[in-house]
Amino acid sequence: MNAQLPADVDAEQQILGSLMVRPDLIVPISNIIHKEDFFLQHHRILFETIEMLSRTESTEIEPLRLVQYFSDRKQLESAGGAAYIMRLVDQAIAPSNATYHAQRVHNLAIRRSLIEKLNELGKEAQEPQENEGTFLKHVEEELLRITNRASTHGIQSIDHYKQDFVDYIAKLVDAKGGMTGTPTRFEQFDTLTSGLRGGELLILAARPGMGKSTFAMNMATNIAVHQNRPVMIYSLEMSKLELILRILSAEAQINHSDLKRGHIPANKQGPIKEAIARIFAAPIYIDDSGTLDIWDCISRTRKLDIELKKKGYPPGLVVIDYLQLMSDTESRKFGRQNEVAAVSRSLKQLAMKTELPILALSQMNRSVEQRRGDSARPQLSDLRESGAIEQDADMVLFIHREQFADPDSPEALENRGRAEIIVAKHRNGPQGSFKVAYRPEIFRFDNLEVGDGY
């Protein structure tokens, strides 16, 4: 079986010989590969020993020193023998290429792991399974753990990121002070944040009935329908049909209750048909499973993201409605707070690996509902299981609508149909707040007109 597994013994020899010629390569090489990545057992022993001696000894790791080390411990034959170790140095042709060889060895190790795991899963698949869904989830998780190894690059010299940084600066310069991320069409939000950036985790929180889902869906629709950027929506409370109906209500600007009852005025039929055409032509992807494990979310998001990138789509947005309904079976046994923390951290890691912005809706503690006046404004400590969520989030947004004892008072009338969006945390920019128009009957937030409290 081993003879059929992909391997490059010559590359492994080049790495080991280069490390003895150029000890300064140990750190960058160790960031790429581990001893398990080597195909031959004596190469694993040699690499592990070179790493260990480089940490514990101040002298260079010469081949003669290695021979003495193994000989003293009666391990020389298991490391390949004296002649073999001495020959590795002579065969090191171009030590400067050692990192290239290391990447190749690492990639081949991943392929071997995949082959071995697929063989193992193939045998399991031939056996009866108590729950097919659980087995398929196990298959996805096992393969995801292996493929995740390919995206881990470890610590690198700053020079490694030079070209990426030059490209990033060029993009900022080209923007000429304008939008550098994906615009949401909420003008004051885009001005404050320069749009949504890949790799960021955004948390949107509010008390019940404030319009969390509406604001998130409006943002998603603006990105997918009006910019043709793909949006993935994980809806854990709402069915796909109700979700689409709300999107239609907002896009066609028709009362949601009328739509549900089938009361469509003649003058609205044309706009509805046009809105339907726009919505169903947009790259919107919906998962309304109702229950969602974090591993399922990671797997589905990564697979769809790969497909969309192959089709040439630019990055869009991932929406999760909402975070506390997600689960993580592995961390659940350590308590609810640890489970939410694990989900939050995994979402941040997913955003970074896919280079997509992720907007996760979040519950708030009930204590905020007992406060009045200025103290009723939401704050970071109001996030439920707030510690981990606040720490992982690049941006935390709150929706706030003032509640008045007298709904007919001048102040209440002035604020009717408005909501405040509060950017309470912004890791990469300023905090702030702004007012938007809110029409709950059509599930729609809009920019306020200039001069109308804008």
Give the burial class of 451: count Cβ atoms within 10 A of its Cβ; 0-12 exposed, 13-18 middle, 19 or more buried: exposed
**Residue 179 carries which DSSP code?**
-
Distance, CA of 327 to CA of 272 (rounded, Å): 37
Distance, CA of 138 to CA of 121 (rounded, Å): 9
SS3 251: helix
Contact in structure between 299 and 232 (CB atoms under 8 Å): no
Distance, CA of 91 to CA of 383 (rounded, Å): 60
Give the burial class of 409: count Cβ atoms within 10 A of its Cβ; 0-12 exposed, 13-18 middle, 19 or more buried: exposed
Distance, CA of 187 to CA of 213 (rounded, Å): 19
Distance, CA of 285 to CA of 224 (rounded, Å): 10
CB neighbours of 10 closer than 8 A, spacing ≥ 6? none
Task: Give the tokens for residue 415.
Answer: 């604020």
Distance, CA of 250 to CA of 253 (rounded, Å): 5
Contact in structure between 344 and 351 (CB atoms under 8 Å): no
Distance, CA of 68 to CA of 61 (rounded, Å): 11
Query: Catalytic residue among 116, 237, 274, 414, which?
Result: 237
Rounded to 5°, the CA angle 359-251-277 comes to 105
Distance, CA of 287 to CA of 200 (rounded, Å): 21
Whether 200 is a known active-site residue: answer: no
Contact in structure between 87 and 64 (CB atoms under 8 Å): no
Give the burial class of 444: count Cβ atoms within 10 A of its Cβ; 0-12 exposed, 13-18 middle, 19 or more buried: buried
SS3 78: helix
Q: Fill in the amino acid letter for 354.
A: T
Distance, CA of 421 to CA of 109 (rounded, Å): 49
Give which of 428, 445, 420 is closest to 219, Cα–Cα.
445
Contact in structure between 107 and 100 (CB atoms under 8 Å): no
Question: Which residues are known to be catalytic?
Answer: 237
